Chains A and B, each alone.
Chain A
Amino acid sequence: MGKIRSRTGIVVVSAVVGSLILAACGGGGGDASGGASGAASGAASGAASAAASAAAGPQKGGTIYILSNAEQLQTLDPQVIYTGEDLAFLGATIMRSLTTYQMSPDNNEGTTLVPDMATDTGTATNGGKTWSFTLKDGIKWEDGQPVTCADVAYGVSRTFATDIIAGGPTYALVYLDIPSAEDGSSQYKGPYSGEGQALFDKAVTCDGNTITFNLNQPVPDFSYAVTLGFGAVRKDADTGADYANKPLSNGPYKIQSYQTGKGGKLVLVRNDQWDPATDSWRQALPDTWEYDFGLDESAIDQRMIASSGNDEFALSLGLTTASLPIVFDDPAYESRRIDAFDPYTRYVAIDTQKIPNEKCRQAIGVAIDREALRTIAGGKYAGDFADGLIKPNIGVDYAPTGLWDGLLGQPVPPTGDAEFAKKLIAEAGDCPTTITLDYAQSADADKAAAVWVDSMAKAGITLKPNPIEPGQYYGIVFDPEKAHELMGAGWGPDWPNASTVIPPLTTLNGGFDLSRWDDKDWNAQVKAAQTELDRATQATMWQELNTAAAQKMLVIPTRFGRDQRMAGTNVGPVYSWPAYGSWPYAAMGVTG
């Protein structure tokens, strides 16, 4: 439903839902930590097939094709890219960053931070308020000029030009020590207007090859934050908003051509200025990458299954529900398919200002048939029943909340419990009898809405479905005047720390608080967890907040999403890279 790449009908174009597609760096050994049953199989089969492909061995040369239903990549601008798959793909090909994640199918290794352009993963001083990174020597742009500290600083400064570089991650805005103007915006207006440039130059300094960031608060996980929106851009090559189409590469490939829309292609060819000696992370095996846009999703599935011609070297980014039984019931596809957690938790947010009574919110959560919802999305392939906002694959921050196992007073079956819901409503006394569900329209979401109507009716609540054009969805639900009581959504963490889940989703200035939950004590607890420097203590604090949020039913967690996709017969390795739940692009090559 939510801000997630949705694969919809043949002409109803998918891709961008609002401009709120977030990166997601879920990962960590969540499968083992229980709570989410039946999760382990995907990761295990992913790892097994990786081993199988490794036997054939990806080789240098050839072309890898990516078959996409989307009309384009949302952006190629290093300051704006925010979609996990795009970060993985562009990061592996044309855009280097200070740090990145290890390339491995293993949940722990795959979310371990490693240096990329920097010599290490950064040095914190001043109690975590100052961070420095030193660039490696010999990193060059595609035109042969060296990538300098100034280029990184300039790239970061572009984030401040919010009128031109819009829609990307905003960690630079939030963390850098630059004072705010009266209206809350930064006093630095970005490199184009130049207003407040001195403030930025004080916050971000260059000393030879070493870049130093001065922050406004201790940020223990700043070295993770620099994976998002901190890419280098050279000032004389910057074309403003237009940079999103043809950025200058500093990776092993460069853009040969880029056309969006149906039949469009992004073609990447080798960049001879890239020096493998500076880069232990990218294998750079194929000679060419070709990203094919605007293909019909059923057609993609059929082509992937047949895997003939160039499709031997093709990757798909998902499977339609109808293809899942075919692909997963047949052992012939075992080495070519992936079934793994995607980064997202799907949920339905409840506006706590419209339904302030906790018991009323609980009643709605208890009544809904989560099993029917999951079946529409693809049954077991769509994911596991969620028990909170934090997803198991995030690692240490997850612990089962027991939401459906007695946290509300008695266990709730996946099919919902209308009687229990009625009991809660009776206890509360003042629950609304008619509520409206806002959702981004798609064929599947329409069916899910029918389930909502059905489940709520059983508990004596009249539910009105309110489908909204996907392109306008978040514009509407973030407007309290236009939004209704219930809103479908999805969220993935930006990196493996619940600091990118609980604060944005449960505090009003967090940015994604659809529940409009604003509680003083709560905010203080969140702040305490955010700045806690001991990781183990911090994890416990997040777990407690997660359980409390579930119990208060700020949102109804429905599903920890899973993702299935396929590779052609001659491309590998085939596994889901836990860092972004994406293909391991940096390690991939043709195997035939």
Chain B
Amino acid sequence: MSGYLVRRLMLLVLMLVLLSMAVFVLFSLLPADVARLSCGKACTPEIIEANRIRLGLDKSVIEQYWVFVKGIFAGRTYPEGGGPAALVCAAPCLGYSFRKNATVLQLIGERLPATIWLALGAFVLFMVVGMVTGVLAALRRGRWQDKSIMGVALLGYSLPSFFLGLVVLFFVIIRWKLLPYPSYVSPFENPEQFFKTMLLPWIVLAILYAAFYTRLTRSQMLETLGEDYIRTARAKGLPERTVVGKHALRAGLTPIVTAGGLDLAGLLGGAIITESVFSLPGIGSLAVSAVVDPDLPVLVGITLITAFFVIVANLIVDLLYAAIDPRVRVAA
């Protein structure tokens, strides 16, 4: 196991290095006018040049990448090499946003709570709903319960998130006035307002994701319910609840957990549409504003953090696999 772990960790580091390089190469395609963008009305070529140097854009992509990596471990200053009124970005430095006058880490840190709450709430909701409906559909295979569950799931699967979000917003908040307009607060500050704000985003994300888990759970259940040991368990006279809960569901759980872990990781990187529609101060809405009002350091930072979550989640899922099933270790 430990050998496998070491191999996987090395692979993780390699992936992170490759990923950060890919991000740098991709974003180096962006117009070099970033220096011009942070320049005002009295914009002269000299000021643009000074900005380029301050932002480190005068260097080659490779050098910029090196400065960036160094910044993560040792911090960096703007301009490089310090000087009067140089900005200090302490390690781990993911860059500094001159648009928002804050370090990228600080900006992401401020928005992480809303994103985490959104992801966790939605995760619990869609896992529970998805698995319960999936089991139900499998047990009633071919009957009306199965058909209606699968029909609703297909609809949920097909709804574009922004349309669903807008429709929910329109009816629940604007037409029926069941909830106030979303205004995010920390749950520790004002739990009531927090729940009123988060309820709809949770439901919207849950509808979008639950559909997938309904389908997955159902097909897993159908597969395991057909296995011999289930028939044996039934033949032994075990109650149906035990057969389904203890044997069938557990056996089919692994792919569900895998998918769940990866989805959770993806959501931690911010749900762009849902956060935007419901005005939540999360990573996703930060990303959109960094695109509209071009803010390169923030984009790079968010891309890396998000990809980092996914890669780590992949590793955790694989390790869990290996812990459960020794054959995986050998195969890898």
Binding site for B on A (CB under 8 A): 10-13, 15-16, 18-20, 22, 71-72, 75, 80, 82, 161-164, 166-170, 173, 183-185, 192-194, 240-242, 244-245, 259-264, 292, 294-296, 299, 302-303, 309, 469-472, 475, 478, 511-512
Contact = CB atoms under 8 A, between A and B. Distances in A.
B110 interface: yes
Contacts of A470: 292
Interface stretch (B61-69, B280-288, B313-321): B280-288
B276 A11 contact: yes
A302 B33 contact: no
Going nearest first, the 7 A-B pairs with the smallest beta carbon separation are A263-B281, A167-B40, A192-B85, A11-B276, A163-B50, A263-B184, A240-B85
A296 B277 CA distance: 8
B292 A166 contact: no
B46 A259 contact: no
A161 B288 contact: no
Interface string B153-196: 00000000000001000000110000011011000000000000
Contact of B293 (A16, A20, A161, A309): A16
A173 B280 contact: no
Interface string B35-65: 0111111111011001100100000000000
A175 B282 CA distance: 44
A164 B180 CA distance: 42
A22 B41 contact: yes
B286 A261 contact: yes
B98 interface: yes
A173 B42 contact: yes
Interface in B93-118: 98, 100-102, 107, 110-111, 114
Nearest to B100: A260
A242 B87 contact: yes
Contacts of B114: 263
B84 A192 contact: yes
A558 to B, nearest CB: 23
Contacts of B279: 262-263, 294-296, 299
B285 A168 contact: no
Contacts of B289: 13, 71, 261-262, 294
Contacts of A11: 273, 276-277, 285, 288
B84 A194 contact: yes
A78 B265 CA distance: 42
Contacts of A18: 37
A240 B293 contact: no
Contacts of A170: 40-42
B85 A164 contact: yes
A183 B41 CA distance: 17
Nearest to A11: B276
Nearest to A309: B180
A101 B7 CA distance: 70
Interface of B: 31, 33, 36-44, 46-47, 50-51, 54, 84-85, 87, 98, 100-102, 107, 110-111, 114, 166, 173-174, 180-181, 183-184, 273, 275-277, 279-282, 285-286, 288-289, 292-294
B277 A10 contact: yes
Nearest to A162: B47
A241 B40 CA distance: 14
Contact of B280 (A72, A262, A302): A262
A567 to B, nearest CB: 18
A153 to B, nearest CB: 18
13 contacts: A16-B293, A71-B289, A169-B41, A170-B40, A170-B41, A192-B84, A241-B101, A261-B285, A261-B286, A299-B279, A303-B181, A478-B43, A511-B42
Contacts of B183: 263, 292
Nearest to B53: A163
B40 A264 contact: no
Nearest to A262: B285
A19 B46 contact: no
Nearest to B78: A241
B292 A72 contact: no
Contact of A19 (B39, B84, B101, B277): B39
A304 to B, nearest CB: 11
B281 A264 contact: yes
B146 to A, nearest CB: 38
A264 B41 CA distance: 27
Nearest to B185: A263
B40 A19 contact: yes
A19 B111 CA distance: 25
Given A242-B87, A302-B174, A471 B41 contact: no
Contact of A261 (B33, B111, B174): B111
A471 B294 contact: yes
Contacts of A302: 174, 181
A419 B47 CA distance: 48
A520 to B, nearest CB: 23
B316 to A, nearest CB: 30
B87 A185 contact: no
Among B47, B110, B184, B293, which residue has the most Cβ atoms of chain A within 10 A? Answer: B293
A162 B42 contact: yes
Nearest to A310: B183
A287 B104 CA distance: 33
Contact of A262 (B39, B85, B276, B293): B276
B50 A242 contact: no
Nearest to B96: A241
Contacts of A20: 40-41
B240 to A, nearest CB: 48
Contacts of B288: 11, 13
Contacts of A262: 184, 275-276, 279-282, 285-286, 289
Contacts of B293: 13, 15-16, 71, 471
Among A240, A296, A475, which residue has the most Cβ atoms of chain B within 10 A? Answer: A475
Contacts of A10: 166, 276-277
B101 A294 contact: no
